[in-house]
Amino acid sequence: MNQTKLSPANIVILAAGILMLIGSFLAFYEFSFALAGATHTESISTWSSGLFGIATTIVICGVIMGGQVALNAFGSNVSIPDKVLGFSWDQIHLALGFQAALMMIAFLVTSRAGLSLGVGFWLMLVAGIGLLVGAIMRVAGAKSNPFTAI
């Protein structure tokens, strides 16, 4: 393990990425219905029909960010290019973190009719904001110490 590469910013991104992945399998939306005199509660995750696709793109953002940090820190003999499509990894983290946070906030304020927000949603919301915060911390850290940028 190369601990010198696990800056506080990368720890935040890694933790948020893991949280995002875990949250994606938990209840994103919940809804209750009455059947035979009893109230039942069902839930759907980001991998369920109706959410799989658009909500899964948020998970992809988190997995890419967390995966890059994990590979860079723990992957032995793993070579990651310094730039992808002309973007530095700090820029990729910033763009993906922004996208994840923006989409989770958009889901938060979208009208949901009879659906309520489940624990998976809240975990993903925290994770999305965490990804953006971590990305900003990376950029700020890179500016103050260019030797820990990647």
Partner 1 sequence: MDGKTQPTTSELIIMIAGAVMLVASFLDFRFNASTWGSGNFPIATLLPLYGVIMAAQIALAKFANVSLPDQVAGFTWEQVHLALGLLAGLMAVGWLLTDVGDKQIGLWLEMLGGVALAVGAVMMQRERHTGAIR
For position 49 contacting partner 1 by CB under 8 A, the verdict is yes
For position 52 contacting partner 1 by CB under 8 A, the verdict is yes
For residue 114, give every residue at least 6 positions away whose Cβ sits within 8 Å of its Cβ, in sequence order, or none: 31
Binding residue for partner 1, selected from 41, 42, 87, 145, defined by CB under 8 A: 87
Pairing of strands 38-44, 83-84: unpaired
Binding residue for partner 1, selected from 9, 16, 70, 94, defined by CB under 8 A: 94
For position 113 contacting partner 1 by CB under 8 A, the verdict is yes
Alpha-carbon distance of 82 to 71, in angstroms, equals: 13
Options 10-18, 28-36, 72-80, 105-113: segment touching partner 1 (CB under 8 A): 105-113
Least spacing, CB of residue 105 vs partner 1, in Å: 8
Comparing CA positions, the residue from 105, 140, 120 lying closest to residue 7 is 140
Burial (CB count <10 Å: 0-12, 13-18, 19+), residue 95 = middle
Q: Which residues bind partner 1 (CB under 8 A)?
A: 49-57, 60, 85-87, 90-91, 94-95, 99, 102-103, 106-107, 109-113, 139
